[in-house]
């Protein structure tokens, strides 16, 4: 049950500088929520 709650909270409040899709950490992400590799694909 705890895992579901933590996952839900991560959707609402994603960690800064972490890609929302691939979960990689990068200082350049800031509040864009996507890494540079995924931003290039869109």
Q: Is 32 left (phi over 0), alpha (psi -120 to 50) or beta?
A: alpha
Q: How many domains does the chain have?
A: 1
Domain containing 11 equals 2-41
- At 1 the pLDDT is 61
Write out pLDDT tens, residues 4-42. Answer: 888 787 777 767 888 888 888 888 887 788 888 888 886
Whole-angstrom distance, CA of residue 19 vs CA of residue 17 = 7
Query: What pTM was estimated for this model as a whole?
Result: 0.56
């Amino acid at each position: 049950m705890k895992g579901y709650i933590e996952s839900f909270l991560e959707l609402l409040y994603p960690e800064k500088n972490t890609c929302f899709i691939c979960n990689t950490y990068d200082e350049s992400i800031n509040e864009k929520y996507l890494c540079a590799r995924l931003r290039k694909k869109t």
